[in-house]
Amino acid sequence: MRRIVILAEAAFTLHRAKTATGVIRYSKDKVVAVIDSTHAGKNVAQALNVALGEDIPMVRDINEALQYEPDALMIGIAPVGGALPPSWRWQLTTAIEHGLDIISGLHTFISDDEELRTAAEQKGVMIWDVRRPQGQPRVAKFAPHRSGSHTVLMVGSDCSAGKMTVALELERVAAQRDLNGSFLATGQTGIMISNNGLPIDHLISDFVAGMVEEQVLQLAEEHDWVFVEGQGALNHPGYSPVTLGLIHGSAPDAMIFCHLAGAKTIDGYENCPLPSLQRLIHINEDAIDWVRQDGKCKVVGLALMTVGMNDEEAQAAIKAAEEETGLPTTDVIRFGAEKLMDALQQHFSAH
């Protein structure tokens, strides 16, 4: 297990630092501190105003973080464009000088930075650029999965709609039920948590479906349930291509739809309104049926993010979504993923 300090200077919020919060919630590694001088003196729970990381201190900088004896520094944000903020360089340099490995999910690779790479080589520390693709590029062959295996893909209405969280919570419930399940990470945060996976937003578009297919086929040979982390959204004006490649590459047997309760437009695209949930569900089912053509892959449950609501408001939002879609609905963070796993097991027992 690593002892990680997370760097999220002036950016430690639920939305901007979802890499950090995902690792704090799910990683087997121990997060010993989070760097954000605007929250120094608090703990993670106080900084985020959520019940998470009550035992993890917020610190001013890497020098203060060193007292907690970390062995790795993780960059805890994924900014648009994916570049390292220039004001953060000294913190990475200091971390390397003290023998800390560097873990980065940025699109700009830290190991391609001559100064930082040379410093790491001199200190004998590792730089792990999580988004650097591994494996050989391949085009999808539309190969069938092992009979008896179930591949479940998380899709959604937007980025940051909880797709990774839902996949991890389903894997957790499957394990509790003694089901042989596995999580396939497809983004930098999921890879940091599972120490494996495929950074599909950094692959050449022709190879996205094929490399996802290869991973799913391997997992389906070993596991009865494969929970695939979704990315982007088919209706997203910026990230729809990666979503379509993931849908066709994973060739799911069922899908769970993820949505931020109350959202009206794509985040950051105020001129791009969201269609109805029914319409969004239909376009995802239709997209897989372009290649499957059997109509068997359905969205069988809805996962709502109800952040910012109290429990009564969350329950009302869940009830409204169930009435609108006719699908079992829950918030997996507030109420667990058991309802969704029940829906999946019932779906497959009927087919």
Residues 115 and 32 in one domain: yes
**Reported confidence tier of residue 79, pLDDT bands at 50, 70, 90:** low
In a domain, 138, yes or no: no
In a domain, 140, yes or no: no
In a domain, 144, yes or no: no
Residues 79 and 156 in one domain: no
By C-alpha distance, which of 103, 236, 81, 258 is closest to 170?
258
Residues 156 and 210 in one domain: yes
Residues 112 and 172 in one domain: no
- For residues 68 and 6, the answer to whether their CB atoms sit within 8 Å is no
Q: What is the pLDDT of residues 33-64, one digit of tens each?
A: 999 999 999 999 999 988 899 999 999 999 99
Check which CATH number belongs to the domain holding 201 and give it: 3.40.50.300
Q: Is the pLDDT of residue 14 over 90?
A: no
Give the domain range for residue 25: 3-129
Residue 84 vs residues 76, 101, 166, 201, 334: alpha-carbon distances, Å = 11, 16, 29, 17, 33
Angle between helices 18-26 and 163-176 (to 10 degrees): 10
Q: What is the pLDDT of residues 81-124, one digit of tens each?
A: 678 888 999 999 999 999 999 999 998 999 999 999 999 999 99
Check which CATH number belongs to the domain holding 111 and give it: 3.40.50.720
What pLDDT is recorded for position 31? 97
Q: In whole angstroms, give the CA distance from residue 217 to residue 128.
A: 26
Residues paired with residue 127 on neighbouring β-strands, in sequence order: 102
Amino acid identity, residue 261?
A: A
Residues 34 and 173 in one domain: no
Q: How many domains does the chain have?
A: 2
Tokens of residue 336, six digits? 């667990």
- For residues 243 and 156, the answer to whether their CB atoms sit within 8 Å is no
Q: What is the pLDDT of residues 143-156, one digit of tens each?
A: 999 999 999 999 99
Q: In whole angstroms, give the CA distance from residue 21 to residue 24.
A: 5
Mean of per-residue pLDDT scores for the chain: 95
Q: In whole angstroms, give the CA distance from residue 120 to residue 128.
A: 11
What pLDDT is recorded for position 81? 63
Q: What is the pLDDT of residues 242-271, one digit of tens each?
A: 999 999 999 999 999 999 999 999 999 999
